[in-house]
Structures are given as structure tokens and as C-alpha cells.
Amino acid sequence: MTNAESVPELGWTNVDPEMSARPQQFYPMMRDMGVVEAEEMMLITRHEDVVWALRHPDLFSSGSDAIDIGNIRPLIPLQIDPPDHVKFRRLLDPLFAPREMEKLEADVRALVVELIDEFAEAGECEFNGAVAIPLPCTVFLRLLGLPLADLDLFLRFKDEIIRPVAATPAEGRAMARKTGAEIYAYFETVIAERRRKPQDDMLSGFLSAEIDGEVLTTEDIMDIAYLFLLAGLDTVTASLGCAVAYLAAHPERQQALRDEPSLIPAAIEELLRWETPVPGVVRVATQDVEVAGSMIPAGATVTCLLASANTDGAEFADPESVDFARAANRHLAFGAGVHRCLGSHLARLEMRVALEELHARVPQYEVEAGKTPIYTMGIRGVEYLPLVWSVS
């Protein structure tokens, strides 16, 4: 099996900065090939094929062989295949449904305002550190009922796993396993505390949650919380960074949002399509299967390249044009099929409120002269985004 290599090979080291800044330019060539064989992994690149693959979990398993992010048991619900998968989603989907997320809006807005007011009068900020990192992490800690003092600990947890500073993939995996053990230990301790003294938070709610008449075990809850931490922080940070970096480089688009904030939800969907901060999701073929004329052998690690699907001219009119008024936008930034991103409505809420308040509070901003934003590979974030604007 080659799947253990999959996360490092999504790659964040030794990458051409031009490729990480503008990956969109490489996708037409890849879509022409249909299925691309690259570094012990096969990439499905066309919109139609990606949707088809993600709709066939019987052929493309999302089980624990697909990705290794330091966990020792399958992550719930990502690494659970049907039929058990739906039981967990029936439990979790209501917690992240739009109606529940609406209840968070006032708190999220207050937090965003607090973060932006820190730098609005200064005329400059490094957006990633000032907003994109602390916002989703703080929201996550509040949602789970964890102390805000643990923010730096959580940032270290996710960074050491998603972007290990390692010389080799094997070393990276070893580091991830070590950090993973810390994450399990952290949540085991917290869950024990909540059993003794429940609070009004999501972790406490899990203590009495049932599936098929049986309450969740401590391990179940740890496997859910572990995934939330790895899936819910970096992705929103990346999405915010990509959106604001685009707007900084396109002043007329930025002004349009400032003039007409009701455009923001559509702009977010279009920027998610164009930037696709989570460029791909990984599966393992359960049997030999033909896609776009290529044979994918049983056991092959397969990346469904959401980013490439999202600029496929067979699906999107004028796909290279970023159009906030796009009439038909079946983008796959949150995936497709049964594993559609559980936190998508929370991500949208955080992005919408952040863009609304940023453009209400900060005048026309741009990237600081002489500086260049730095994009990351793997999860497509903007780890360095220095912005400047005029202050009166």
C-alpha cells in the first residue's frame, strides 16, 4: 500500500512558489489527461468524474487507509464508510446545520470586531496572524467548551500534523503520531472532566448521545474531536486567507463588496470555487475501476482533485473568470457525496462575518509594496499576507 505516503505527497515542501500561488494554471493540462498518475497516487481531475467518484463510497473508500494524520483509530465521521457513516452524520449534521450556526453569529461577529479593532487604526496588519488564524480556532474552542488559554496549544497540535517540519515523509509521520498521542490525551482528560461535571457545550452533549441505542464511548468522542481539530481550524484559516489575498489584489472587486455587502455570500462561493482551499480529498479504490478511460487498480490511493474540478470548463461557463454573479456554481470546495464537509455552514458563517466586518471597518487595502503573499501547498492557505491601507 502506498497510502501512508499520501499526506506528505500532497506536499508543502520544496514546492515552486509559482505553483503554490497560482495552481489554477496547471489544471487544464491535468483535465486533458483525465486521470493523472503522480508520485504513487492517482488524481481524478474532471468535475463529472470527481462527483461520480465521491458519490461511490463503495468503490472509493474514505477509510483509515486513505489519509494518515497521526490518528490510531478511524476518524469519525470522515474515515467511516457507509453504512455506519450515516449514523454518525445523523447525530452530527443537526449540530452544524444552518439553524444552529445562526445562533453563533452574534458571538462570531463580536470576536471578529475585536480582532479587527486591534489593527484597523494602524493602517497595516499581517492578516493570517491577525484574523485568519485566531478566528476559527477561538470559535472552535468556544463551541467545544474548552479554555481560550489553550489556543496556542491547539495551533501547535494542528500545525505539527498538517505542516510538520520534517526532513522526510517518514519523519513527518512519526512527528504526527507523537502529536496525535498528545491530542488523544488532551481530549481524554477533558472528556473525563465533563463526565464528572457536564457543561453547556458540544463535548458534554456527546456524553449522552446515542447511536443504535448505545451511548458514544470516550473513544468515539475522542475520534470526533480529533477530526474537528484537524479539519475545522486550518481549512477556515486557509479559506479566509485565500479570499482576502484575492480581494487585496483586485481593488475593484474589494470595493464592490464594501459598497454592496449583500454580494458577500455569492463572492465567498465564487472565491471558494476559484481558490479551492482544500484542493483534494483522498480515497482508496476498493476494486479495479475505470475512470476517464484509465484503469485505477484496487488498492490505489486516489485524490479527487476538487480544485481542478472547480475550474472545469465542461461544468463552469468561462471557468477562469472570477464572477461574483455566476448564475450556476456547482463548486465542490466542500467536497461532494456522503462526506460533504460537516463544518461547511460554520465555515461560511465565519467567512461571511469576517468579510462583512473587514470591509466595513478597513478602507481599500492592498498587499504591502515590495512584499509577496506566501501560499502553502496541501491545504491552500496564505501563511504570510501583509496588508496596508490609509488611515485618516
Partner 1 sequence: MRVSVDAALCTGHGRCYALAPQLFAPDDFGHCALVVGDGVVPNGLEEQARVGRDNCPEHAITISD
Q: Which residues bind partner 1 (CB under 8 A)?
A: 51, 55, 89-90, 93-94, 96-99, 265, 269, 327-332, 334, 336-338, 340, 344-345
Q: Report in angstroms how near the CB of residue 158 gets to partner 1 at its nearest.
A: 25
Q: Report in angstroms how near the CB of residue 278 gets to partner 1 at its nearest.
A: 14
Give 188: exposed, middle or buried? Use CB within 10 Å, 0-12, 13-18, 19+.
middle
Q: What is the DSSP letter of 291?
A: E
C-beta of 8 vs 335, nearer to partner 1 = 335
Q: Report in angstroms how near the CB of residue 147 gets to partner 1 at its nearest.
A: 29
Q: Report in angstroms how near the CB of residue 93 gets to partner 1 at its nearest.
A: 4
C-beta of 101 vs 146, nearer to partner 1 = 101
- Phi, psi (rounded to 5 degrees) for 349: -60, -50
Pairing of strands 301-305, 41-44: parallel
**Which helix (H) or strand (E) segment is 259 a member of?**
helix 251-259
C-beta of 108 vs 382, nearer to partner 1 = 108
C-beta of 195 vs 330, nearer to partner 1 = 330
DSSP for 116-154, please give it: HHTTGGGTEEEHIIIIITHHHHHHHHHHHT--GGGHHHH
C-beta of 89 vs 173, nearer to partner 1 = 89
C-beta of 55 vs 195, nearer to partner 1 = 55
First vs last C-alpha separation in the chain: 60
Name the residue with cell 491545504: 379
Tell me the C-alpha distance between 64 and 50, whole Å.
20
- Phi, psi (rounded to 5 degrees) for 384: -140, 115
Q: Report in angstroms how near the CB of residue 344 gets to partner 1 at its nearest.
A: 7
Look at residue 315 and give its three-state secondary structure.
coil
Q: Report in angstroms how near the CB of residue 277 gets to partner 1 at its nearest.
A: 16
**Which is it for the CA torsion 18, 24, 27, 28, positive or negative?**
negative
Name the residue with cell 465565519: 350
Tell me the C-alpha distance between 203 and 194, whole Å.
8
C-beta of 114 vs 210, nearer to partner 1 = 210
Q: Report in angstroms how near the CB of residue 168 gets to partner 1 at its nearest.
A: 37
